[in-house]
Structure 1
Amino acid sequence: MSLTAFDSLITGSLLTDPDTAGLFGDDAIIRAMLEVEGALALAEADCSLLPAEAAHGISEACNSLVIDPATLASGTARDGVPVPALVAELRKAIDPDHARFVHWGATSQDIYDTGLVLRLKQAIKLHETALFELAEQIADLADLHRETPIAARTRMQQATPTSFGLKAAVWLSALLRHLERLEGIRSRVLLLSFGGASGNLAALGAHALDVESCLAERLGLSVSPAPWHTMRDGLDDYAGWLSLVTATLGKIGTDLILLSQNEVAEVRLGGGGGSSTMPNKVNPVGAEALIALARQNAGLLGTLHQAALQEHERSGANWTLEWLTLPQMVVATGASLAHANRLLGSLEVNTEVMRETIVDSKGLMLAEAATFALAKHMPRPEAQAMVKEACKIVTISGLHLFDVLAEAGDAPVDWQALKDPGQHMGASDQMIDRVLETFESLKAKS
């Protein structure tokens, strides 16, 4: 039975990507917890807290043991966390003399949270790789179309000409900031969770911090200065990053949908979906998914922040709430990145239509340029008034704005030269260069 669209066999292929989703399946959760238990035993043996023979026996069992998720169900329902049931299964699989050393000095939250961090470490790497792939595609688009005029739109209305390359560079600039944020995200998320019963590792006595250090090293994680059982700001920070990434991809999806509308047709989206009754339609399914997933993550982020209100040294309710929200956010981000890479990989740019849109405006999109051209020869308020009046005439007569202005006054303006949309893209070229230089610098550091 599927309870969400993410795990549905019908809709899951639209809303997830297999690599990210695989990190949140039951088998992956169990495998990560066993990895922590095995590393814990070895770390405690490193610190002479456990017999080496017992530690290696536990580690080998953790590496080979396969636990059916169903065997943990009743224990999880009873205890509110799967770790006690997992520990019981692990103890059954090893020498009885070694079984008593399993889970020595740890608490369930140590195992579950650290297992989560190990899986998030993989998710972050997957998403970073996908972000770089997407950034490469958009960087190529920005460079290729730096001289391609397109109508800028503000508040859903045609504004002035700009460069389609700059439009792409604006998308890219946000992606680069998300990549730059990852260094800080990693430092705050990839932390060992290890505090024992109440956060002070009392059961490990004088060995506590040595075990903590050895365990973190074995798992490739950093040590938190203090236990973070109920201080979830690192995960909240990461969730914010997920929401930012999907928001940027949703904005790109919105732009692409608007540009690909039949009456606009400035781009064409490959791989669209069909209608059950209208054979003429090619629906922008991938771009729509970007918008839906962005809104989903934005909503879930607020719910996850509710889970930050944890009581004292451990919270059951808010910890559970986190399980309900964070995995969906991670999976949604993976799906968004997959959709975005497919969309950009099949995008067709119709440069002729982009230019025609500007030309068809009969100069109305160049009204700002006309005002500043006239302002060189008269006070700017007078120039604005003159152009505004001319715009009214254009909408009635269908004449070109510059032809109307040429007739209305004798200012020595080369109106014919100003009709070229390519003359009105401002500092687009330099801005594109700045974004591409930032990308090259970021790649050099990675």
Structure 2
Amino acid sequence: MDEGLLSPVTVGSDAEVTDAAVLGALVAAEVALSRAWARVGAAPDMAALSAALGWVGAGEPCTTGDLSLPALAAASVAGGNPVIPLVGMLKERAPLDVRGWVHRGATSQDILDSALMLVARRAGGWIRASLRETEQHLAEFAAAHRDEVAAARTLTQHAVPTTVGARASGWLRAVSRARLRLDETLAALPAQLGGAGGTLASFVEIGGAEAAAELPAAYAAELGLAAPDAPWHVTRWPVTELADALVQTVDAVGKMATDVATLSRTEIGELAEGTGGGSSAMPQKQNPAASVLIRSAALRAPNLGATMHLAAALAADERPDGAWHAEWPTLRELLRLALGATATAARLVAGLRVDGDAVARNLGLTEGLIVSERLSLVLTPLLGKDVVAQIVADAGRGGDLRALVVEALEAAVDRLPGAAHPADGVDALLDPAQYTGAAGALTDAAVRDLLATLGEERGIRDPDPDPGAAAGAGGDAAAGGGFDQRGGGDAAAEVSVGSGAAAKVPASSGAAATDGTTPAEQPLDGGDARVDPPDRRSSARAGAAGGGAGSLAGAAGGSGPGGGTAGVAGVGAAAGGGTTPAEPPPFRGNTPVAPSDRRSSAGRRPADSEAHPADPEAHPADSEDRPGGPEDRPDNDESHRTGGLT
């Protein structure tokens, strides 16, 4: 049995995809077929058979009792799949009067495909819960660091200013999109029922055309899966779409882990995991172990997805020779990696820390050249392209950027508007915090969109605008010279060097609306009380100057994090309250249901009301009412890993 010795990212997260879990799903698929025959009126009541074979309920694996996994695996070799020997084992245990309805009319692929869809649905619920938890922590992190200015890097080099919050909002968007795609995929996972050649011929012969037409939907309902439109023995969109959604999920958390690992390097030091891994030889090291494990999954998942397409999508005939068989372990491994990577991601983001001093230090490494794009936009209309290029080149060779800019402005004073000293506004022009574009607005929008999806699931209202909170849209402009921010889009910003007549240059399209509205703060847990926004770094790091620190800054739109981009700052700030809602449930059919009792990705259990994926009317929701739950076994009892098998 694979305990994860060589795949530590999967340890503790793969209970839904073990051989024991697959066996439970296989038995459930067989029992569900017998029950479906009874549901359409073609067979007697199956209560006795259900009890004898460990039926628990729709969406649940059966308890497997004394079925031996090693014996079943050994017997599977002869026929090439485990269903053939399993049918014999189940018939031996079934009541004599209904024994003939076990596997009635089905082919092995009907049972195995349906069982794997059940496994995927249940595992997908836990993946989804971990993604939701990751989204929440990312939203809180992004809001807390919304205005913390950092260096954006392109092709490994410093490029322009960004914010820590904007970077995190990108992670959040990717995780949210992956979850949405996974939601759609899980809801559509169908049962499989086609008979030997995918024509339902055996079912028509056994029960008649009417019963055979009703049987696939009845079978799907018994399993808690979507009803198939038709048999999909060799039309493998369910498994290729599932594989693609899983790869996208691992991609999303893998990108985040890659950034965290890079930014936690000793020479960068901007981020740190809450609990770093150690080194056996170098005790001073705090390795980003969680990021490393997530990356290990992200590097493996795409090849597994490719295998699914090579095998499933190119299936030959009405049942392929080997391609179908290649799907099984590949899909299981993809599920394992997604389970482990997302659970690890939730823990990673929950403890992620920012070293603000390192962020500020790195931001200043180029001694102002990180705003060279802005210099070009602002100064070229005043000084000419060649002069600005020379300023940047001289600064790159060690010259004082501020002095070079002032010198060039003084040399061209007769061409400058206004009567003030040319140096007025240069400091603001060179301030990275005044050139973050729409970073704040993008961060707020990502958090707001998450609140909206949480609201759809749990009744949270989208926050209403609060017209009283202007976020510094040019608020510090004074008689000495300031700039008039007209907003973004195609608007032009008034730019003056000092305080005289204004020259107009196109404003940055990143500047946001300046009507001063800020949506009311809304806690992520959906409560009625507001949450105080987290402390933010001030001055250059936070861009608290309000966009009015100097008139030259206006030439690029003045869209610093304290300027016109804070129209939805309240929403972003609300995420800093630190609350964590209960984990969202997985899906059964087209309806969300709660996951079965199991430790959550962050080491805590879901709320009792969300703890069981079976039909809530048929089964109590709290796990304490389930035999064999964690409360019913000692902490060191490992029988749950094998479903009680010996």
Give the counterpart of 1:314 among 312, 319, 336: 319
SS at match of 1:146: coil
Q: Deviations over 1:373-402 (max 9, x none)?
A: 2124234x23542333332342xx5x3x12
* Cα distance in 2 between the residues matched to 1:96 and 1:247: 51
* Cα distance in 2 between the residues matched to 1:135 and 1:157: 28
Aligned to 2:182: 182
Q: Determine if contact 1:39/1:218 at 8 Å carries over to the other structure.
A: yes
Q: Determine if contact 2:9/2:294 at 8 Å carries over to the other structure.
A: no
1:110, distance to aligned residue in structure 2 (A): 0.9
Structure 1: where are the runs of 5+ without partners? Answer: none
Report the identity percentage: 31
User: Which amino acid letter does the alignment assign opposite residue 427 of structure 1?
Assistant: A
Q: Determine if contact 1:270/1:346 at 8 Å carries over to the other structure.
A: yes
Q: Determine if contact 2:151/2:362 at 8 Å carries over to the other structure.
A: yes
Q: Determine if contact 1:274/1:283 at 8 Å carries over to the other structure.
A: yes
Alignment pair present for 1:59 and 2:50: yes
- CA distance change for structure 1 residues 204 and 74 in 2, over 3 Å: closer, same or farther? same
Aligned to 1:38: 31
* Cα distance in 1 between the residues matched to 2:397 and 2:403: 11
Aligned to 1:343: 348
* Cα distance in 1 between the residues matched to 2:442 and 2:72: 56
1:186, distance to aligned residue in structure 2 (A): 2.6
1:109, distance to aligned residue in structure 2 (A): 1.0
* Cα distance in 1 between the residues matched to 2:278 and 2:39: 61
Aligned to 2:142: 142
Alignment pair present for 1:104 and 2:104: yes
* Cα distance in 1 between the residues matched to 2:50 and 2:283: 59
* Cα distance in 2 between the residues matched to 1:103 and 1:360: 70
1:9, distance to aligned residue in structure 2 (A): 5.0
Q: Determine if contact 1:307/1:322 at 8 Å carries over to the other structure.
A: yes
Q: Determine if contact 1:370/1:402 at 8 Å carries over to the other structure.
A: no
Aligned to 2:431: 420
Alignment pair present for 1:255 and 2:248: no
* Cα distance in 1 between the residues matched to 2:237 and 2:391: 54
- CA distance change for structure 1 residues 101 and 360 in 2, over 3 Å: closer, same or farther? closer
Q: Deviations over 1:133-155 (max 9, x none)?
A: 00011111111111101011010
1:311, distance to aligned residue in structure 2 (A): 1.3
Aligned to 2:5: 10
Q: Deviations over 1:228-248 (max 9, x none)?
A: 111112211111111111112
* Cα distance in 1 between the residues matched to 2:356 and 2:381: 32
Q: Deviations over 1:208-267 (max 9, x none)?
A: 112222222222222221111111122111111111111121111111111111111111
Looking at secondary structure, tell me which structure has more helix per residue: 1
- CA distance change for structure 1 residues 65 and 127 in 2, over 3 Å: closer, same or farther? closer
* Cα distance in 2 between the residues matched to 1:360 and 1:180: 39
Q: Determine if contact 1:355/1:421 at 8 Å carries over to the other structure.
A: no
Q: Determine if contact 1:243/1:329 at 8 Å carries over to the other structure.
A: yes
Aligned to 1:200: 199
SS at match of 1:409: helix
Aligned to 1:364: 369
Q: Determine if contact 2:127/2:343 at 8 Å carries over to the other structure.
A: no
Aligned to 2:493: none
Q: Deviations over 1:9-39 (max 9, x none)?
A: 5334x220434x2122222111111112222
1:417, distance to aligned residue in structure 2 (A): 2.1
SS at match of 1:98: helix
- CA distance change for structure 1 residues 407 and 122 in 2, over 3 Å: closer, same or farther? same
Alignment pair present for 1:210 and 2:214: yes
Q: Determine if contact 2:160/2:373 at 8 Å carries over to the other structure.
A: yes
SS at match of 1:377: helix
Aligned to 1:164: 164
Q: Determine if contact 2:294/2:345 at 8 Å carries over to the other structure.
A: yes
Alignment pair present for 1:333 and 2:333: no
Give the counterpart of 2:18 among 12, 25, 28: 25
Aligned to 2:577: none
* Cα distance in 1 between the residues matched to 2:256 and 2:153: 14
Q: Determine if contact 2:276/2:289 at 8 Å carries over to the other structure.
A: yes
1:356, distance to aligned residue in structure 2 (A): 2.1
* Cα distance in 1 between the residues matched to 2:436 and 2:387: 21
SS at match of 2:348: helix
1:374-393 equivalent positions in 2, closer than 5 A: 374-379=379-384, 381-393=385-397
Q: Determine if contact 1:17/1:338 at 8 Å carries over to the other structure.
A: no
Q: Determine if contact 1:80/1:316 at 8 Å carries over to the other structure.
A: no
Q: Deviations over 1:171-199 (max 9, x none)?
A: 111111112223431344x2010111111
1:79, distance to aligned residue in structure 2 (A): 0.7
Q: How many residues align?
A: 431
Alignment pair present for 1:435 and 2:434: no
Q: Choose 303-312 or 353-362, whichever is displaced more.
A: 353-362
Q: Deviations over 1:280-299 (max 9, x none)?
A: 21222211112121110011
Structure 2: where are the runs of 5+ without partners? Answer: 55-62, 413-421, 458-646
* Cα distance in 2 between the residues matched to 1:183 and 1:8: 28
Q: Determine if contact 1:37/1:59 at 8 Å carries over to the other structure.
A: no
Q: Choose 237-246 or 268-277, whichever is displaced more.
A: 268-277
* Cα distance in 2 between the residues matched to 1:417 and 1:46: 75
User: Which amino acid letter does the alignment assign opposite residue 294 of structure 1?
Assistant: A
* Cα distance in 1 between the residues matched to 2:434 and 2:301: 41
SS at match of 1:335: helix
* Cα distance in 1 between the residues matched to 2:80 and 2:289: 39
**TM-score of the aligned structures, taking structure 2 as reference length:** 0.64
